[in-house]
């Protein structure tokens, strides 16, 4: 659907539910509710907790198709490998929204020799943990960062990955992530970039959100209708 068609569908949805109560909304107001609905739709599909059906976006083909157009694969950020720091701060991409997968390229030596950038290289998945637990885990010989499963936290606009300079040093972070979608804007003719089959669901969320905001007790977006939407 084009942005013009989505605006028309929102107007029709409001008129259908509430007759002529909603006579006129500014285009900028409809843009706001569509973008808010788009963001809510993404968050609902992302994880099992936020998804009404408790599936998560990668559990079914339908969920993957819902978000496939905003998945970015193999973003990378590199540094000069060094044994000096305890950790490396890698930059997140500027359009980052949610993490799908994180991996690091590292240099490892299993023969007891000092690790350098000439040592054998490998790529391993990163173990993302909570910030308040990372320092305790680093003191735990069973939980600390290891070549097979390096420890990391996400904060601000960075991913901090911990290394053990006696065993491995880091060079490159690879990310698969959900990027921020472009904002739906009628005045600039910017359409929703999510898959076509999601547009009606986004419109339904927008209509329900508008009604909830204006007539709060009358229609809640946590209603059975929303939980059963697909």
| Percent with pLDDT over 70 in the chain | 84
pLDDT value at 173 more than 90: yes
pLDDT band at 56 (very low <50, low <70, confident <90, very high): low
pLDDT value at 119 more than 80: yes
- The mean pLDDT of the chain is 86
Residue-wise pLDDT tens digits, 175-204: 999 999 999 999 999 999 999 999 999 999
pLDDT of residue 230: 47
pLDDT of residue 94: 95
pLDDT band at 228 (very low <50, low <70, confident <90, very high): very low
pTM, rounded to two decimals: 0.81
Tell me how far apart the alpha carbons of residues 34 and 30 are, in angstroms, rounded to a whole number. Answer: 6
pLDDT value at 93 more than 90: yes
Q: Which region among 15-19, 96-100, 192-196 has the lowest average model confidence (pLDDT)?
A: 15-19
Residues with Cβ within 8 Å of 68's Cβ and at least 6 positions away in sequence, in order, are: 195
């Amino acid at each position: 659907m084009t942005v013009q068609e989505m605006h028309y569908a929102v107007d029709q949805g409001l008129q259908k539910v509430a007759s002529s109560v909603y006579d006129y909304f500014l285009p900028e107001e409809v843009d706001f509710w569509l973008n808010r609905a788009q963001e809510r739709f993404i968050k609902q599909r992302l994880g099992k907790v936020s998804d009404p059906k408790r599936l998560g976006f990668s559990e079914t083909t339908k969920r993957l198709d819902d978000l496939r157009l905003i998945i970015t694969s193999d973003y990378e950020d590199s540094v000069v490998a060094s044994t000096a720091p305890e950790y490396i701060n890698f930059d997140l991409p500027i359009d980052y929204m949610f993490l799908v997968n994180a991996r690091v390229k590292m240099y490892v030596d299993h023969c007891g020799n000092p690790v350098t950038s000439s040592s054998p290289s490998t790529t391993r998945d990163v173990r993302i943990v909570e910030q308040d637990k990372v320092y305790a885990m680093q003191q735990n010989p069973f939980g600390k960062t290891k070549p097979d499963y390096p420890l990391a936290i996400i904060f601000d606009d960075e991913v901090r990955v911990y290394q053990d300079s006696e065993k491995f040093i880091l060079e490159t972070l690879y990310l698969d992530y959900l990027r921020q979608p472009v904002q739906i804007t009628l005045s600039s003719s910017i359409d929703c970039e999510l898959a076509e089959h999601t547009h009606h669901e986004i419109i339904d969320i927008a209509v329900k959100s508008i009604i909830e905001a204006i007539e709060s007790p009358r229609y809640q977006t946590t209603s059975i209708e929303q939980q059963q939407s697909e």
